[in-house]
Amino acid sequence: ATQEPRTTEPLETHPAETKTDAPDAQKTDRGKSGQDEKKDEPHGPRLAISSPEPGTHVERPTLVVEGVVSEGAVVFLGDVAAEQDGTAWSMTVELEPGKNRLYFKAIDAEGNKTKKALYVWYDAPDTEGPQFEITSPRNGSETTYAVIIVRGKVEAGSKVLLGDIAGVVDGEKWELKAPLDLGKNELVFVAFDEAGNESTATLLITRIEKDESEGPRFSITSPANKSETDDQYIRVTGKVAEGSRVYHDGGEAHVEGTDWVTEVKLRPGWNELWFKAVDQNGDKTKLWLKVYLVTDDAEYKFTAEQKYGSCGDEVPYDIFYGTGKPGSVIEVGSPFGDGRTEVDKHGHWELKVFFEGAPVGEKFNVTVYASTGETKAFHFIATGGDGGGGDH
């Protein structure tokens, strides 16, 4: 904050003031008519400040000013007289934060005056806490997450803590991953500025029970499912629970708040696009979108993809899908289950295969065969419901 400078007397442009009694011109008694003789004009006493230097910055609210003055003269600051020992003088001055203008004056026995100005700065210590606030989540809200990301604003250069958990500060923005207990949580965040001053902000939030199988809210808003396009590159957009991340085909979509967007390259014919949202607890929600790329002379080639790779259901299963020549036959074979389908007129195929009797924890091969001569091999493992790294 800007401090008003301290001024003990109005500023004068001349450091010395001399009291004078201008005598009238007098004729001498020695008959030297017409010759005027003036007395020497009196002048003020000598006044000097030896310490501190003008413009000095100090960090304490009191300051000792020292100097010298003519013998017999008295030094004042306002109406307060300095301590004097012969020609040496000193005075302890109380300072205000910021710039201080100190005007000293010396008065001799005849009443002649001399003034001296001294400018000093009192750099008062910073004792005010930093600006600090929480911008999300909303105070008093509910969540099912065991860990949440709290965001806010803080004075640049500050540190933010929740207990012994340190937040990440970027300029004037901060965020921190905060663990929650079930029920009501009162989280007290502390911000420390570079001077060590602190400010606090409190967030009240309630963690409620959640179905462990429930993933984050996740939707696709465009394009429409089973739509057609002649653009090889399309933008897929949607909504997702705040704090979640969205993935597609090994890449990550851009998420801002609850909106997400990504660009996808299409193959001629039908494209089945899978998207996955992962929240802060690692819970997942999956969505798929089918888009048909219209081309003048679509070339169909054989492709095969596996959706899961593992399963913990009582009767485990997997889904295989891909592209091929329309009308061609696709077969899936394994020691514990098989299936058969045809490629549709758009060059797309999909097949769900159950692996009844598959041993838990033992990986085995699954092979996809096309009647056009191509093959592709995959691995599958039944996890028996223990998670085992599977996605379903």
Tokens encoding 288? 């798929």
Domains 6-20+41-122 and 218-382 share a fold: yes
Least confident of 39-43, 194-198, 311-315: 39-43
Selected from 3.30.450.40, 2.150.10.10, 2.60.120.260, 2.60.40.10, the CATH number assigned to the domain covering 6-20+41-122 reads: 2.60.40.10
pLDDT tens-digit readout, 202-225: 999 998 876 655 789 999 999 999
- pLDDT (average), residues 332-351: 90
pLDDT at 300: 74
Residue 297 confidence class, pLDDT cut points 50, 70, 90: low
Report yes or no: 270 and 227 within 8 Å, Cβ to Cβ. no
* Domain residue ranges in the chain: 6-20+41-122, 132-207, 218-382
pLDDT at 4 over 90: no
Cα separations in angstroms, 161 against 147, 158, 245, 308: 16, 10, 25, 41
Q: With 0.75 as the threshold, say if the pTM is over it.
A: no
Distance, in Å, from the CA atom of 242 to the CA atom of 285, rounded to the nearest integer, reads 14
pLDDT tens-digit readout, 349-379: 999 999 998 888 889 999 999 998 999 999 9
Report yes or no: 178 and 160 within 8 Å, Cβ to Cβ. no
* Residue % of the chain over a pLDDT of 90: 61
- Tokens 């310490």 belong to residue: 51
pLDDT at 346: 76
Element (H, E) at 94: strand 88-94
pLDDT tens-digit readout, 11-61: 333 334 433 343 343 333 333 434 444 444 568 999 999 999 999 999 899
Residue 79 confidence class, pLDDT cut points 50, 70, 90: very high
Listed as own residue / partner, the contacts of 36-43 with beta carbons closer than 8 Å and 24 or more positions apart are: 42/18, 42/110, 42/112, 43/16, 43/18, 43/112
Strand order in the sheet with 88-94: 47-51, 62-69, 88-94, 83-85
Selected from 3.30.750.24, 3.40.50.300, 2.60.40.10, 1.10.150.170, the CATH number assigned to the domain covering 132-207 reads: 2.60.40.10
- pLDDT (average), residues 2-6: 44
pLDDT at 7: 47
Query: Hey, what amino acid is at 338?
Result: D
- pLDDT (average), residues 267-287: 88
pLDDT at 143: 87
Supply the mean pLDDT for the chain.
84
Residue 170 confidence class, pLDDT cut points 50, 70, 90: very high
Strand order in the sheet with 233-240: 218-222, 233-240, 259-265, 254-256
pLDDT at 386 over 50: no
pLDDT at 299: 65
- Other CB atoms within a 10 A radius of the CB of residue 182 amount to 12
Residue 333 confidence class, pLDDT cut points 50, 70, 90: very high
Report yes or no: 391 and 368 within 8 Å, Cβ to Cβ. no
User: CB-based contacts of 293: which residues, under 8 Å, 6+ apart?
Assistant: 228, 229, 230, 231, 232, 266, 267, 268, 269, 271
Query: 218-382 — its CATH code?
Result: 2.60.40.10
